[in-house]
Amino acid sequence: MTVADIKKSSEQKMQKSIETLKADLAKVRTGRAHTGILDHVMVDYYGSPTAIGQVANLTLIDARTIGVQPWEKKMLSAIEKAIRDSDLGLNPSSQGDMIRVPTPALTEERRKELVKLVKSEGEGAKIAIRNIRRDANEGLKKLLKDKACSEDDERRAQDDVQKLTDKYVAEIDKVLAEKEKDVMTV
């Protein structure tokens, strides 16, 4: 490992943490309907749990309704049951060979709970970023101890890692502010 390797792998890991945060926040419900809220709902497909997106076509019918069109007609009731049993509080209804999933409007209290959830997700991402910084600094100290780099190089690299950390923490704050605004919008 060189100083450049440590900095590069740290930046890649921090970028992955941001992507993970964005994926997790996409599952948090806002006032509008979006197909992402059904991503983690699993349906029993021939004995194995499968994501709804892999057994049906998900579309937005309007701003508050998601349409689920199963590829196999016999999956209709299983998908409807899986959505109803999920912890999302949604009540799907079948219409012919399609399931309509209306998303109810969020109450002010529920919005505040979702904002708390969003903030805790953000805090988890910040902790992940700080852990990456700690690991990078430990790697740099090991290089210095093994005399693979000079003290000046190690100090500069630690400063660079700190700048990376600050940059990604600021990006997390920006992502959280956008999501919070999105959740609180009526």
* Mean pLDDT within 130-155: 91
Sequence letter at residue 16: K
Tokens of 93: 């209804």
Tokens of 125: 């991402």
Domains 3-27+107-184 and 35-102 share a fold: no
Give the tens place of pLDDT for each residue, 34-65: 777 787 888 988 888 888 888 899 988 887 88
Predicted TM-score (pTM) of the model is: 0.70
Confidence tier at 186 by pLDDT (50, 70, 90)? low
Tokens of 35: 């197909």
Q: Which residues, other chains included, contact 68 with Cβ-Cβ below 8 Å and sequence gap of 6+?
A: 38, 52, 56, 57, 58, 79, 83, 92, 98, 99, 100, 101
Sequence letter at residue 123: E
* Mean pLDDT within 156-167: 93
Domain spanning 35-102: CATH 3.40.718.10? no
Looking from the CA of 5 toward its CB, the CA atoms found within 13 Å total 7
Gap between the Cα atoms of 96 and 88, Å rounded: 23
Give the per-residue pLDDT at 133. Answer: 95
Give the tens place of pLDDT for each residue, 20-38: 998 888 777 666 777 777 8
Give the tens place of pLDDT for each residue, 69-111: 998 888 888 898 888 888 777 888 888 888 998 887 778 887 8
Gap between the Cα atoms of 108 and 96, Å rounded: 35
Q: What is the CATH number of domain 3-27+107-184?
A: 1.10.132.20
- Return the domain boundaries, the chain: 3-27+107-184, 35-102
Cα 40 from chain centroid (whole Å): 11
Give the per-residue pLDDT at 30. Answer: 67
